[in-house]
Structure 1
Amino acid sequence: MDTIDRLIIGAGALGLACAARLAKPNESTLIVEAEKLIGSHTSSRNSEVIHAGIYYAADSLKAELCIEGRDRLYAWCAEHQVPHQRISKLLVAVSDEQRSKLTAIAENAEACGVNDLQAISQQQLHTLEPAVQGIEALLSPSTGIIDSHAYLQSLLTQAERNGAQLVLDTRIERLEPTVNGWVVQGYSCGEAFSLKAQHVINAGGLFAQQLAHNTKGLNPDLIPALHLCQGRYFSYSGRSPFSRLIYPMPEANATGLGIHATLDMGGQLRFGPDSRYVERLDYSVESGLLEPFAQAIRRYFPKLDSSRLVPGYSGVRPKLSGPGEPAADFVIQTPADHGLEGLINLFGIESPGLTASLAIAERIARH
């Protein structure tokens, strides 16, 4: 049986960031990915936003790792020539009732350590973004956008430079602890295989819990329930009326941040995501969603031309909180948590997971 030093399961932003950070020329690091391309799920089906760290609970991993990850990500992009832009975003209140929400967001951001938000008056908002309707706003200069595919490739390049190897179309089915490491069983290109790894990182994203339930010796009570939450996007054809990201106030009892306006590195405007819990992976975007999207967008962009809305793409988040439940934090599960040496499980790494990926990898490197 082949023996390796480190196995990283999942070639999304999280797994590749871990590989880029942990791989060493004198050690064997193997990255396995069940799909035929890296980043096939959550890592490439999102808003491609570098988050500032505004919304999360002040004492949470999400807040801490988002802010640290944001700074690390900007530095990484500059060093590795990953296309990105510190484009900034506006959080817009459209009614008097929403002023208190804007204040609460500013106070929460300050508690998290985000101290660069700027209060924007209605007149200033009109000057900055004439197409946006609002009575007050907050400007977040630390928010940015990134080419997520180029970022993933840069992580892989760095990992391979340090000796890591990537194997696609390879699914891990079972993990079993031994005296000195882990016996790993799975299928690669349809062929069964087994190997031994001294250290295993389960960065399986949407599939992390499934593998955890097939990990011998892991207490099932330590495996949080998975809730799939779909978010869909519409593109807006033609020239964008905005030069920044535009975010409405988060809606009450909603699981996301509302249907906001984002730009990609090519200047393409898109709106989304909405959010709905689903029972299975579903990446469809029905044209029948156009009118509900249009209604939500017109609250802050009244001159929306709905004929320019085109169904785009969707993503699915691996949430740990179900409908109506408070937002759950990231779970970074180490041997100190489950008692199994050499194993780290990562659960619920949804937004702001892309922004936080380098900080999470750094945290794992300490174990």
Structure 2
Amino acid sequence: MGAAVARRLALDGREVMLIARRDRQQDDGGLAMAAGGWPEPVEASVVDRPRTLRAGFSAQGAQALASYCARQEIPFRRTGQLLIARDDAEMAVLEDIKQRDPSVDLLSVADVAAHERGLRCVGGLFAPDAGIVDGDALRLALRIEAENAGAFVTEDCRLVAAYPMRRGFEVDLGGMPGELETVRCDSLINATEDYEAVQIAARVDGMRNHAPPELSGPGSKRYKLEGTAPFDRLVVPGCRGPKSAALFFSGFQGESWMDVLSESRDVAGRGDEPGTDGPRSPDFRIQGQAEHGIPGLINLFGIDARSETRAALALADAVLDALSGRADWSGMLPVPPSSLAVA
């Protein structure tokens, strides 16, 4: 996410410093983080709750991602995604999705077996707009493009504290033990993932009471499965309750992965509606001066590792629009970005 934002701001002619994480497996407190790494799933748009920032930016970002990968020759494979119904109630959920999105296909048990053998279900839904991307190659390309546009990228320090000034910020950066350096900047963008975004926000003077407590937990965990990859497509083994939080997908070399959201979510965000069970994943939140009162500070909250990749390019445009005063995303639904940087 940070590399996408740095690239977009650098292409706009701004001086940018990207503080990137060398070890993505732990946060600053030594706690395990959701694995990034290669490969990364790009889920279908039907898994997102309609009329939310998550749905809007993910749809825009996925389209931009496919174009960017083609231009940069980054490995990207369109696999499609299967949502499985385990009973008639879940099948009714998939039928509702089909009515809302004619691009997806309802599947019988035989149809599901034709896509993926061995799945026990009463039916399913196939969404073609899903796939996998080489996440490491993507981040490297974004960083290189950012640096070619003048951005400075470092993995040798971390943000210790930031203090809003009359204009801009003083930022304390920690490197080796005992080392501390202070730099000045006009704007500060917190574009980290999951609960680390809340941790970083709390280090900005004046922000402690504005960090959303509901986003203080980890967003997802990724596991590499032993043996042959069980599926060729992205597979969600259920569309209600905890099963809808799991995602199985294959890699480019035949390895298999399982990604699990820390909170269960019902497909299409039905988890908190009457007659359904389980909580839903929090929506994206682009927090600017209107919410916390600090000029030049933008926090991106709710960006879990599972959705970051497909939404990153669109969110980077949203950050630029917010800094330029073209948009205030507080409480707003996404609109077509002003200049999606894919060309």
Q: Which of 78, 95, 98 is residue 87 of structure 2 equivalent to? A: 95
Q: 1:92 to 1:325 in 2, by over 3 A?
A: closer
- Equivalents in 2 of 1:214, 1:272: separation in Å? 29
Q: Which of 44, 53, 67 is residue 52 of structure 1 equivalent to? A: 44
- Equivalents in 2 of 1:328, 1:46: separation in Å? 25
Q: CA deviation at 1:328?
A: 1.6
- Counterpart for residue 187 of structure 1: 174
The worse-fitting range, judged by mean Cα deviation, of 173-182 and 263-272 is: 263-272
Secondary structure, counterpart of 2:189 in structure 1: strand
- Equivalents in 1 of 2:281, 2:261: separation in Å? 16
Q: 1:325 to 1:269 in 2, by over 3 A?
A: closer
The worse-fitting range, judged by mean Cα deviation, of 265-274 and 85-94 is: 265-274
Counterpart residue identity of residue 227, structure 2: S
Q: RMSD between aligned alpha carbons?
A: 2.6
- Equivalents in 2 of 1:276, 1:57: separation in Å? 15
The worse-fitting range, judged by mean Cα deviation, of 84-93 and 330-339 is: 330-339
Secondary structure, counterpart of 1:366 in structure 2: helix
- Equivalents in 1 of 2:11, 2:78: separation in Å? 32
- Equivalents in 1 of 2:25, 2:130: separation in Å? 22
- Equivalents in 2 of 1:100, 1:186: separation in Å? 53
Aligned residue pairs total 299
Within a 5 Å distance, the mapping from 1:9-158 to structure 2 comes to 14-24=1-11, 27-33=14-20, 35-37=21-23, 41-42=33-34, 44=36, 48-107=40-99, 110=100, 114-158=101-145
Q: CA deviation at 1:71?
A: 0.4
Structure 1 unmatched runs, 5+: 1-13, 278-323
Q: CA deviation at 1:249?
A: 1.4
- Counterpart for residue 209 of structure 1: 198
- Counterpart for residue 265 of structure 1: 252
Secondary structure, counterpart of 2:186 in structure 1: strand
Q: CA deviation at 1:154?
A: 1.0
The TM-score with structure 2 as length reference comes to: 0.78
Q: 1:164 to 1:93 in 2, by over 3 A?
A: same
Q: 1:49 to 1:336 in 2, by over 3 A?
A: same
- Equivalents in 2 of 1:52, 1:127: separation in Å? 20
- Equivalents in 1 of 2:199, 2:183: separation in Å? 20
Q: 1:54 to 1:276 in 2, by over 3 A?
A: closer
Do the aligned partners of 2:61 and 2:315 also contact (CA within 8 Å) in 1?
A: yes
Q: 1:357 to 1:345 in 2, by over 3 A?
A: same
Q: 1:261 to 1:208 in 2, by over 3 A?
A: closer
Do the aligned partners of 1:25 and 1:163 also contact (CA within 8 Å) in 2?
A: no
- Equivalents in 2 of 1:356, 1:229: separation in Å? 15
Structure 2 unmatched runs, 5+: 27-32, 265-277, 323-343
Do the aligned partners of 1:335 and 1:343 also contact (CA within 8 Å) in 2?
A: yes
Q: 1:43 to 1:362 in 2, by over 3 A?
A: farther
- Counterpart for residue 339 of structure 2: none
Query: Which has more strand, going by share of residues?
Result: 1
- Counterpart for residue 232 of structure 2: 243
